[in-house]
Protein backbone atom coordinates (compact mmCIF):
# COMPACT_ATOMS: atom_id res chain seq x y z
CA UNK A 1 0.00 0.00 0.00
CA UNK A 2 1.60 3.26 -1.14
CA UNK A 3 0.36 6.34 0.67
CA UNK A 4 0.74 9.56 -1.34
CA UNK A 5 3.35 11.74 0.30
CA UNK A 6 1.02 14.77 0.46
CA UNK A 7 -1.58 12.72 2.34
CA UNK A 8 1.09 11.35 4.70
CA UNK A 9 2.29 14.90 5.37
CA UNK A 10 -1.24 16.12 6.10
CA UNK A 11 -1.92 13.18 8.42
CA UNK A 12 1.35 13.77 10.31
CA UNK A 13 0.59 17.49 10.64
CA UNK A 14 -2.99 16.83 11.77
CA UNK A 15 -1.74 14.33 14.37
CA UNK A 16 0.63 17.02 15.63
CA UNK A 17 -2.37 19.29 16.22
CA UNK A 18 -2.52 21.25 12.95
CA UNK A 19 -6.25 21.82 12.45
CA UNK A 20 -5.73 23.27 8.96
CA UNK A 21 -4.15 19.99 7.89
CA UNK A 22 -7.15 18.05 9.20
CA UNK A 23 -9.50 20.45 7.40
CA UNK A 24 -7.58 19.74 4.19
CA UNK A 25 -8.03 15.99 4.73
CA UNK A 26 -11.77 16.61 5.17
CA UNK A 27 -11.88 18.63 1.95
CA UNK A 28 -10.08 15.85 0.06
CA UNK A 29 -12.29 13.02 1.28
CA UNK A 30 -15.71 14.54 1.98
CA UNK A 31 -17.16 13.50 -1.40
CA UNK A 32 -16.19 9.85 -0.88
CA UNK A 33 -17.33 9.80 2.74
CA UNK A 34 -20.65 11.43 1.90
CA UNK A 35 -21.18 8.99 -1.00
CA UNK A 36 -20.56 6.00 1.24
CA UNK A 37 -22.81 7.46 3.95
CA UNK A 38 -25.53 8.00 1.36
CA UNK A 39 -25.21 4.45 0.02
CA UNK A 40 -25.45 3.05 3.54
CA UNK A 41 -28.32 5.18 4.80
CA UNK A 42 -30.25 5.78 1.58
CA UNK A 43 -31.08 9.44 2.16
CA UNK A 44 -29.39 12.83 2.19
CA UNK A 45 -30.24 13.93 5.73
CA UNK A 46 -28.93 10.77 7.34
CA UNK A 47 -25.88 10.84 5.06
CA UNK A 48 -25.03 14.37 6.24
CA UNK A 49 -25.39 13.40 9.90
CA UNK A 50 -23.29 10.27 9.44
CA UNK A 51 -20.55 12.10 7.51
CA UNK A 52 -20.33 14.82 10.16
CA UNK A 53 -20.25 12.30 13.01
CA UNK A 54 -17.60 10.27 11.18
CA UNK A 55 -15.24 13.25 10.88
CA UNK A 56 -15.77 14.19 14.53
CA UNK A 57 -14.94 10.64 15.55
CA UNK A 58 -11.88 10.62 13.28
CA UNK A 59 -10.72 13.92 14.76
CA UNK A 60 -11.00 12.56 18.30
CA UNK A 61 -9.19 9.31 17.50
CA UNK A 62 -6.65 10.58 14.98
CA UNK A 63 -3.75 9.68 17.26
CA UNK A 64 -4.77 6.02 16.96
CA UNK A 65 -4.56 6.12 13.13
CA UNK A 66 -1.32 4.27 12.36
CA UNK A 67 -1.06 5.53 8.81
CA UNK A 68 -0.48 2.09 7.27
CA UNK A 69 -3.66 2.44 5.15
CA UNK A 70 -5.09 5.31 3.15
CA UNK A 71 -6.83 7.97 5.22
CA UNK A 72 -9.91 7.45 3.05
CA UNK A 73 -9.98 3.71 3.86
CA UNK A 74 -9.78 4.54 7.56
CA UNK A 75 -12.64 7.01 7.06
CA UNK A 76 -14.73 4.31 5.30
CA UNK A 77 -14.45 2.11 8.38
CA UNK A 78 -15.44 4.94 10.70
CA UNK A 79 -18.29 5.94 8.38
CA UNK A 80 -19.56 2.35 8.29
CA UNK A 81 -19.50 2.23 12.08
CA UNK A 82 -21.31 5.58 12.40
CA UNK A 83 -23.93 4.56 9.84
CA UNK A 84 -24.54 1.30 11.65
CA UNK A 85 -25.03 3.13 14.96
CA UNK A 86 -27.17 5.80 13.30
CA UNK A 87 -29.45 3.30 11.56
CA UNK A 88 -29.93 1.11 14.61
CA UNK A 89 -30.74 4.17 16.74
CA UNK A 90 -33.19 5.40 14.12
CA UNK A 91 -34.85 2.03 13.68
CA UNK A 92 -35.42 1.79 17.44
CA UNK A 93 -37.11 5.18 17.33
CA UNK A 94 -39.28 4.38 14.35
CA UNK A 95 -39.83 0.68 15.07
CA UNK A 96 -38.56 -0.23 11.63
CA UNK A 97 -38.21 -3.85 10.77
CA UNK A 98 -34.54 -4.84 10.68
CA UNK A 99 -35.23 -8.24 9.24
CA UNK A 100 -32.95 -9.18 6.38
CA UNK A 101 -35.71 -11.15 4.71
CA UNK A 102 -37.64 -8.14 3.50
CA UNK A 103 -38.74 -8.51 -0.06
CA UNK A 104 -37.06 -6.23 -2.48
CA UNK A 105 -39.62 -4.38 -4.56
CA UNK A 106 -39.69 -5.42 -8.15
CA UNK A 107 -39.57 -2.35 -10.32
CA UNK A 108 -38.12 -3.95 -13.37
CA UNK A 109 -38.76 -2.30 -16.68
CA UNK A 110 -40.92 -4.33 -19.01
CA UNK A 111 -38.18 -4.89 -21.53
CA UNK A 112 -35.84 -7.85 -21.62
CA UNK A 113 -33.09 -7.49 -19.00
CA UNK A 114 -30.44 -8.51 -21.51
CA UNK A 115 -31.27 -5.60 -23.78
CA UNK A 116 -31.40 -3.24 -20.81
CA UNK A 117 -27.99 -4.30 -19.62
CA UNK A 118 -26.15 -1.37 -21.08
CA UNK A 119 -23.72 -0.21 -18.47
CA UNK A 120 -25.43 3.03 -17.47
CA UNK A 121 -28.89 1.55 -17.26
CA UNK A 122 -27.69 -1.44 -15.28
CA UNK A 123 -25.80 0.85 -12.92
CA UNK A 124 -28.96 2.86 -12.26
CA UNK A 125 -30.93 -0.31 -11.64
CA UNK A 126 -28.26 -1.68 -9.30
CA UNK A 127 -28.29 1.63 -7.41
CA UNK A 128 -32.07 1.44 -7.06
CA UNK A 129 -31.95 -2.21 -6.02
CA UNK A 130 -29.27 -1.41 -3.43
CA UNK A 131 -31.41 1.35 -1.97
CA UNK A 132 -34.30 -1.10 -1.59
CA UNK A 133 -32.26 -3.72 0.27
CA UNK A 134 -32.79 -3.97 4.02
CA UNK A 135 -30.09 -1.81 5.71
CA UNK A 136 -28.24 -4.72 7.32
CA UNK A 137 -27.77 -6.43 3.96
CA UNK A 138 -27.04 -3.21 2.11
CA UNK A 139 -24.24 -2.27 4.50
CA UNK A 140 -22.35 -5.50 3.96
CA UNK A 141 -22.64 -5.62 0.18
CA UNK A 142 -21.73 -1.93 -0.22
CA UNK A 143 -18.67 -2.23 2.03
CA UNK A 144 -17.47 -5.47 0.42
CA UNK A 145 -18.43 -5.25 -3.26
CA UNK A 146 -18.30 -1.49 -3.80
CA UNK A 147 -15.62 -0.34 -1.33
CA UNK A 148 -13.61 -3.57 -1.19
CA UNK A 149 -13.24 -3.66 2.60
CA UNK A 150 -12.13 -7.06 3.93
CA UNK A 151 -14.63 -9.28 5.76
CA UNK A 152 -12.91 -8.86 9.14
CA UNK A 153 -13.04 -5.05 8.91
CA UNK A 154 -16.71 -5.13 7.91
CA UNK A 155 -17.56 -7.49 10.76
CA UNK A 156 -15.66 -5.36 13.23
CA UNK A 157 -17.30 -2.06 12.19
CA UNK A 158 -20.80 -3.52 12.06
CA UNK A 159 -20.40 -5.39 15.35
CA UNK A 160 -21.10 -8.83 13.89
CA UNK A 161 -19.06 -11.99 13.38
CA UNK A 162 -17.11 -12.57 10.19
CA UNK A 163 -19.28 -15.55 9.30
CA UNK A 164 -22.44 -13.47 9.82
CA UNK A 165 -20.95 -10.83 7.51
CA UNK A 166 -20.38 -13.47 4.83
CA UNK A 167 -23.88 -14.91 5.17
CA UNK A 168 -25.38 -11.42 4.82
CA UNK A 169 -23.17 -10.69 1.82
CA UNK A 170 -24.30 -13.81 -0.01
CA UNK A 171 -27.94 -13.09 0.84
CA UNK A 172 -27.58 -9.53 -0.42
CA UNK A 173 -25.95 -10.63 -3.68
CA UNK A 174 -28.72 -13.15 -4.21
CA UNK A 175 -31.45 -10.57 -3.63
CA UNK A 176 -29.79 -8.18 -6.07
CA UNK A 177 -29.44 -10.89 -8.69
CA UNK A 178 -33.07 -11.97 -8.24
CA UNK A 179 -34.22 -8.38 -8.55
CA UNK A 180 -32.14 -7.57 -11.61
CA UNK A 181 -32.25 -10.91 -13.45
CA UNK A 182 -35.18 -12.93 -12.13
CA UNK A 183 -35.17 -16.56 -13.17
CA UNK A 184 -38.45 -18.25 -14.16
CA UNK A 185 -40.34 -19.02 -10.97
CA UNK A 186 -38.68 -16.36 -8.84
CA UNK A 187 -41.17 -13.67 -9.87
CA UNK A 188 -44.09 -15.95 -8.94
CA UNK A 189 -42.49 -16.82 -5.59
CA UNK A 190 -42.01 -13.15 -4.74
CA UNK A 191 -45.59 -12.32 -5.60
CA UNK A 192 -46.97 -14.92 -3.14
Q: Contact positions toward other proteins, by CB under 8 A?
A: 19, 22-23, 26-27, 30-32, 34-35, 38-39, 44, 47-48, 51-52, 55-56, 59-60, 117, 119, 122-123, 126-127, 141, 145-148, 166, 169-171, 173-174, 176-177, 180-181, 183, 185-186, 189
In the complex, least distance from residue 159 CB atom to other proteins, rounded to whole angstroms: 22
Q: Closer to other proteins by CB, 12 or 92: give it.
A: 12
In the complex, least distance from residue 184 CB atom to other proteins, rounded to whole angstroms: 8
Contacts of 140 (CB under 8 A, 6+ apart): 154, 158, 165, 168, 169, 172
CA distance 47 to 162: 26
Helix then strand then coil, in percent of the chain rounded to 5, is 70, 0, 30
Q: Closer to other proteins by CB, 47 or 87: give it.
A: 47
Radius of gyration of the chain (CA): 19
Q: Closer to other proteins by CB, 2 or 119: give it.
A: 119
CA distance 116 to 137: 25
In the complex, least distance from residue 45 CB atom to other proteins, rounded to whole angstroms: 9
CA distance 118 to 183: 19
Q: Closer to other proteins by CB, 95 or 120: give it.
A: 120
* Dihedral sign for Cα atoms in the order 167, 169, 172, 177: negative
In the complex, least distance from residue 95 CB atom to other proteins, rounded to whole angstroms: 27
Buried b (16+ CB within 10 A) or exposed e, 56-72: ebbeeebeebeeeebbb
In the complex, least distance from residue 181 CB atom to other proteins, rounded to whole angstroms: 4
Q: Closer to other proteins by CB, 12 or 117: give it.
A: 117
Amino acid sequence: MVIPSEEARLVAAAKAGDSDAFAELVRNTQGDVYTLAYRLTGNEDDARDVAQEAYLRAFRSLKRFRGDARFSTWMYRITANCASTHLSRRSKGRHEELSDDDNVLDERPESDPETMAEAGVLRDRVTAALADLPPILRAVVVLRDVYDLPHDAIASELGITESAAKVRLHRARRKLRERLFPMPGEEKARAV
